[in-house]
């Protein structure tokens, strides 16, 4: 690598154009998904790196390191695949759906979904855990109530990411202030106003959307009865089957790491299955954990919803995560991403410009290095000194990091957060994206408030 060329923005731009073109043709023209298109982006990044003078060994190592950054996410995806299959087999998910159909009405469902997921995520500090437990049941309830799955997914995601952003137990809520140079409680307190405004707007939108379902538009209540009968015909429904998700939520809330917490839920589900469902064998558990559950109730909506789970059904998400992180590893290690960011930061002359630049960088990180944590860590490291030079308190930076890095990750189809949600809820990113109002609005609310100086905090002399 002695004869390396200077990395310029044009080099990164060429790679991005190739990636976007491949994605657009694959998704829009052929509806062929993003895996091969993402791999074309990897090839383009690798060829550009070779042109810039990096040897193959360096490029290969960069790809491996990129995958290693997402290894925790991959392990969780595998474990959640097992959990979903086992929970359906044991009647846990069917029981959650059954009672939800009895308790929730179409008019309040969307607001209730946001609130339920918000409380769960605040208590546990994890959007993934919330989507994998409450979200999984709520998407089934939505189908029964005649509410479109993408709309329901938007409400679930909005609530889950509100809690993930505001909970002191959340990884990103602790990571952002650590990168910026402040403490977590100062960070959370400063986020309350912009996040609260966005949250209220989100609830208002979903409340208005609920009116059409209250008037019966698109709702066939006979389907609720049909689904309930289908559930009782295949499973023994019991309130005791709600214990496994409670165990997972309590475990994570007590700061047990995600993998052990989810595994506790798997074993609790297996035990409940042996107790409450007739004829379940060890072999059935193995099949459900590996290949998922196949529902044959005769109710089309129910069979489609509950025929899922297992490691095999998660391989779509796992393979996409690995390919995406190969691309991200090359772009980061070769400096092509840094070349883009350096060009962007030159336009940040005032605090509002710096905050806007930070949020754009976070979103760009979610695009090219598709792992939520990286979108908080790298911009945090890059801009910390710039914020200090401008006389801004570190909480200004930490708020910007969370307002874009944390919440926009789930809006990128090949990001680890998005592939997880798609794998669990069975709703594609591009269909639920328009309804993720909290995630879509949060970056803009922060920028608008920054224009009026509300999300801009000066660092006082004592704090310096």
Nearest to 141 by CA among 95, 181, 75, 179: 95
The pLDDT tens digits for 408-436 are: 999 988 888 888 898 888 898 999 999 99
The pLDDT tens digits for 281-302 are: 999 999 999 998 888 877 776 7
Q: Is the pLDDT of residue 221 over 60?
A: no
Distance CA 363, CA 379 (A): 10
| pTM given for the model | 0.71
Evaluated on CA atoms 313, 315, 318, 324, the torsion sign reads: negative
Confidence band for 314, pLDDT divided at 50, 70 and 90: confident
The pLDDT tens digits for 89-125 are: 999 888 887 887 777 778 888 998 999 888 878 766 6
Distance CA 146, CA 104 (A): 12
Distance CA 130, CA 53 (A): 45
Give the range among 208-222, 223-237, 389-403 with minimum mean pLDDT. 208-222
Give percent above pLDDT 70 in the chain: 92
Distance CA 335, CA 50 (A): 13
Confidence band for 170, pLDDT divided at 50, 70 and 90: confident
pLDDT of residue 59: 93
Q: Can you tell me which residue has the tokens 């299959």?
A: 85
- What are the sequence ranges of the domains in the chain? 71-313
Q: Is the pLDDT of residue 440 over 90?
A: yes
The pLDDT tens digits for 2-33 are: 567 888 889 988 998 898 788 778 766 776 76
Q: What angle do CA 395, 401, 406 make, to 5 degrees?
A: 130
Outline where DSSP puts E strands in 245-335: none
pLDDT of residue 44: 94
The pLDDT tens digits for 180-199 are: 888 877 888 899 899 999 99
pLDDT of residue 75: 84
Nearest to 94 by CA among 313, 276, 284, 315: 276
pLDDT of residue 169: 61
DSSP for 317-376, written as a single string: HHHHHHHHHHHHHHHHHTTHHHHHHHHHHTT--SHHHHHHHHHHHHHHHHHHS--HHHHH
pLDDT of residue 385: 76
Give residue 33's region: left, alpha or beta (phi > 0; psi -120 to 50): left
Phi, psi (rounded to 5 degrees) for 419: -65, -30
Outline where DSSP puts E strands in 153-232: none
pLDDT of residue 247: 87
pLDDT of residue 56: 93
More confident residue, 262 or 377: 262
Most confident of 32-41, 170-179, 232-241, 313-322: 232-241
Q: What is the mean pLDDT of the chain?
A: 84
Confidence band for 150, pLDDT divided at 50, 70 and 90: very high
The pLDDT tens digits for 339-384 are: 877 777 777 778 888 899 899 888 988 887 677 777 787 787 778 7
Q: Is the pLDDT of residue 462 over 50?
A: no
């Amino acid at each position: 690598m002695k004869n390396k060329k200077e990395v310029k923005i044009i080099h990164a731009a060429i790679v991005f154009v190739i990636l976007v073109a491949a994605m657009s043709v694959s998704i829009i023209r052929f509806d062929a998904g993003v895996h091969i298109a993402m791999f074309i982006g990897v090839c383009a990044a690798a060829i550009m790196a070779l042109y810039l003078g990096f040897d193959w060994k360096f490029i290969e190592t960069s790809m491996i390191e990129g995958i290693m950054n997402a290894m925790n996410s991959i392990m969780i995806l595998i474990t959640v695949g097992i959990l979903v299959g086992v929970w359906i087999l044991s009647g846990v998910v069917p029981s959650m759906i059954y009672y939800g159909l009895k308790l929730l009405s179409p008019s309040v469902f969307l607001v209730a979904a946001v609130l339920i997921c918000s409380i769960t995520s605040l208590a546990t500090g994890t959007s993934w855990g919330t989507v994998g437990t409450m979200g999984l049941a709520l998407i089934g309830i939505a189908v029964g109530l005649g509410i479109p799955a993408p709309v329901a997914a938007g409400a679930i995601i909005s609530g889950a990411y509100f809690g993930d952003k505001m909970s002191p137990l959340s990884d990103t809520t602790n990571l952002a202030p650590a990168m910026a140079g402040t403490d977590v409680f100062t960070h959370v307190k400063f986020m309350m106003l912009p996040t609260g405004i966005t949250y209220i707007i989100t609830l208002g939108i979903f409340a208005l959307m609920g009116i059409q379902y209250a008037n019966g538009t698109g709702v066939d209540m006979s389907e609720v009865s049909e689904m309930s009968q289908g559930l009782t015909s295949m499973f023994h429904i019991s309130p005791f089957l709600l214990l496994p998700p409670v165990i997972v939520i309590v475990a994570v809330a007590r700061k047990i790491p995600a993998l052990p917490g989810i595994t506790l839920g798997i074993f609790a589900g297996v035990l409940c299955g042996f107790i409450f469902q007739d004829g379940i064998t060890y072999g059935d558990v193995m099949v459900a954990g590996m290949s998922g559950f196949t529902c044959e109730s005769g109710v089309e909506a129910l069979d489609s919803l509950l025929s899922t789970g297992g490691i095999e059904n998660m391989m779509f998400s796992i393979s996409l995560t690995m390919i995406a992180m190969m691309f991200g590893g090359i772009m980061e290690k070769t400096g092509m991403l840094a070349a883009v960011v350096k060009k962007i930061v030159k336009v940040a002359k005032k605090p509002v410009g710096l905050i806007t630049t930070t949020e754009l960088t976070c979103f760009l990180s979610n695009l090219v290095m598709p792992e939520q944590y990286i979108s908080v860590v790298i911009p945090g490291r890059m801009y910390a000194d710039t914020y200090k030079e401008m006389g801004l308190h570190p909480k200004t930076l930490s708020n910007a990091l969370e307002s874009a890095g944390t919440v926009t990750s789930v809006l990128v189809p090949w990001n680890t957060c998005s592939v997880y949600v798609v794998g669990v809820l069975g709703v594609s990113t591009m269909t639920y994206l328009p309804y993720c109002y909290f995630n879509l609005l949060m970056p803009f609310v922060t920028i608008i408030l920054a224009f009026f100086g509300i999300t801009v905090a000066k660092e006082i002399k004592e704090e310096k």
